[in-house]
C-alpha cells in the first residue's frame, strides 16, 4: 500500500467498487459510527461512479438495517461474512487478503475502500496511505474520504440528512423533548450527568414533556407526570424520535439518529475528543442550535425559544 493519489475526475470507465464495512457493535461501531460511515460510503459511490458496488457486512448485526436504503439505491451486492464479529485480527486478515487479491468471494473489484473503526484510523490510514491523511479535515466524512488508498478531488459536499437513509417515520404527534444524557465517546466530561439532570428538571418545571433515553440510572427514582424514560431497540428508537418536537443531547449517536430522521436537534458540544464528529462541521441539516457552555438555564432558554417558535408556526 502506498501514499494516496488523486484520481482523474473525468475518468469514467466501468469499474467495480468494493467497500469493506463489516460494522459490528463488538468492534466499536455504535449507532452514530454506523450512520456516519454509511454517509461516507455514499460519498465513495458518488465520487467513483462505479458500474457495480460490492459491500461486505456481517451476517447478523443489530445495525445492519441502516444500510438498507444504500443497498437498494446503488443495487449493491452484499457479501455476508460470518467470522467472529468482535475479532479485530480476523477482520483485518480477511480485508488484507481481499485488498491484495482484488477479489472478494471470487468477484473481482477495481477500487478498494475501507470503513475501519475511527479509533483505529491512525493505524489503518498508515497502512492504506502512509500516514493519517484524514486528520485535520473538515469533518468525520472527509476523515474517512481522504484516509483511503486513492481519492478524487473535490470530495462530494452534501449535508447529512434523511435522504441517505430513507427510514420511514411518522409525523410529529406529541411534541416535547427527547433527551439523551449519556455521552459514551465524550464520557460526559463537559456536559455532565448533573448538567442534564438540572436541564431535565428545569424543562419539567416549565411544563415541557421530557422523555429520557436511559435504562434507569438517570434521575433514579425521580417521578413527574411529564417525565418518562425509554430504551428502545435501534429500529424502534429511530422511529420514536419523530414523536418529539426536538432532540436534545451531547455529541452522541442519538444526535446522528435525529439528523438521519430530519428531527430537529439542539446539541451540546465543547472540547470534543474527536473534533471531526462535530454536528455543525458535519453539516447535520436538522441541527437547530449548538450550545457550548454547560449552563442549564441557558440550555433551557434555547429549548423554550425553539418550542415557542414551533408553536407560533403551527398557530
Q: How far apart are CA 28 and CA 152, in angstroms?
A: 28
Given a contact cutoff of 8 angstroms between Cβ atoms, the answer to whether 209 and 246 are in contact is no
Which CATH number goes with the domain that contains 201?
Answer: 3.40.50.2000
User: What confidence score (pLDDT) does residue 186 get?
Assistant: 80
Question: Residue 61 corresponds to which cell in the numbers above?
Answer: 448485526
**Residue pair 15/111 in contact by the 8 Å Cβ criterion:** yes
pLDDT for the residue numbered 3: 38
Domain check: are 181 and 123 in the same one? no
Looking at the structure, tell me whether residues 153 and 181 fall in a common domain: no
Q: What is the pLDDT of residue 168?
A: 65
What single DSSP character describes residue 170? Answer: P
The region that residue 107 occupies, defined by phi over 0 for left and psi between -120 and 50 for alpha, beta otherwise, is beta
Domain end: 126, 157, 188, which one?
Answer: 157
For residues 193 and 252, membership in a common domain is answered with yes
pLDDT given for residue 86 in this prediction: 86
| Same-domain pairing of 153 and 84 | yes
Last residue of a domain, one of 157, 192, 219: 157
Q: How far is CA 225 from its chain centroid?
A: 33
What is the residue range of 121's domain? 5-157
> Are the beta carbons of 287 and 267 closer than 8 angstroms?
yes
User: pTM of the prediction?
Assistant: 0.92
Other C-beta atoms lying within 10 Å of the C-beta of residue 217: 10
**What pLDDT score does 82 carry?**
92
Same domain, 118 and 12: yes
CA distance 233 to 198: 27
Q: Which residues contact 126 (CB under 8 A, 6 or more apart)?
A: 132
Could you give the number of structural domains in the chain? 2
Number of C-beta neighbours around residue 94 at 10 A = 17
Look at residues 157, 192, 207 and tell me which one is the last residue of a structural domain.
157
Per-block mean pLDDT, blocks of 10 residues, the chain (315 long)? 41 82 91 96 97 96 94 97 91 96 97 96 95 95 96 89 78 80 87 97 97 94 95 92 94 96 95 94 97 97 93 65
- Across-strand partners of 107? 104
Structure confidence at residue 11 (pLDDT): 46
pLDDT the model gives residue 1: 45
Alpha helices by DSSP H, the chain: 31-48, 68-73, 88-101, 121-129, 140-146, 193-205, 234-240, 253-260, 296-314
Between CA 40 and CA 165 the distance in angstroms is 12
* Same domain membership, residue 189 and residue 280: yes
258 neighbors 286 (Cβ within 8 angstroms): yes
Q: What pLDDT was estimated at residue 167?
A: 72
Residue for cell digits 427514582? 221
**202 and 148, same structural domain?**
no
pLDDT at residue 172, as a whole number: 56
The Cα 309–Cα 303 span in angstroms is 10
Amino acid at each position: 500500500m502506498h501514499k494516496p493519489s488523486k484520481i482523474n475526475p473525468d475518468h469514467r470507465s466501468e469499474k467495480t467498487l468494493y467497500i469493506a464495512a463489516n460494522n459490528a457493535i463488538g468492534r466499536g461501531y455504535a449507532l452514530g459510527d454506523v450512520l456516519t460511515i454509511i454517509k461516507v460510503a455514499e460519498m465513495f459511490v458518488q465520487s467513483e461512479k462505479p458500474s457495480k458496488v460490492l459491500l461486505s457486512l456481517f451476517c447478523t448485526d443489530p445495525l445492519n438495517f441502516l444500510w438498507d436504503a444504500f443497498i437498494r439505491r446503488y443495487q449493491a451486492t452484499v457479501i455476508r461474512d460470518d467470522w467472529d464479529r468482535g475479532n479485530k485480527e480476523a477482520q483485518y486478515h480477511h480485508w488484507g487478503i481481499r485488498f491484495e487479491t482484488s477479489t472478494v468471494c471470487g468477484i473481482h473489484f477495481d477500487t478498494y475502500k475501507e470503513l475501519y473503526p475511527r479509533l483505529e484510523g491512525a493505524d489503518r490510514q498508515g497502512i492504506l496511505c502512509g500516514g493519517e491523511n484524514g486528520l485535520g479535515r473538515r469533518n468525520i466524512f472527509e476523515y474517512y474520504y481522504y484516509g483511503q488508498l486513492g481519492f478524487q478531488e473535490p470530495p462530494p459536499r452534501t449535508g447529512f440528512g434523511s435522504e441517505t437513509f430513507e427510514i420511514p417515520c411518522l409525523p410529529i404527534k406529541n411534541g416535547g423533548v427527547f433527551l439523551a444524557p449519556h455521552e459514551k465517546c465524550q464520557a460526559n466530561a463537559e456536559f455532565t450527568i448533573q448538567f442534564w439532570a438540572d436541564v431535565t428538571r428545569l424543562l419539567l418545571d416549565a411544563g415541557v414533556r421530557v422523555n429520557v433515553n436511559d435504562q434507569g440510572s438517570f434521575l433514579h427514582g425521580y417521578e413527574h407526570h411529564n417525565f418518562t424514560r425509554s430504551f428502545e431497540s435501534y429500529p424502534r428508537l429511530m422511529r420514536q424520535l419523530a414523536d418529539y418536537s426536538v432532540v436534545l443531547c451531547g455529541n452522541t449517536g442519538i444526535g446522528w439518529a435525529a439528523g438521519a430522521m430530519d428531527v430537529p436537534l439542539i446539541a451540546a458540544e465543547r472540547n470534543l475528543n474527536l473534533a471531526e464528529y462535530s454536528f455543525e462541521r458535519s453539516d447535520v441539516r436538522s441541527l437547530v442550535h449548538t450550545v457550548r457552555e454547560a449552563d442549564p438555564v441557558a440550555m433551557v432558554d434555547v429549548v423554550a425559544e425553539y418550542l415557542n417558535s414551533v408553536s407560533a408556526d403551527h398557530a
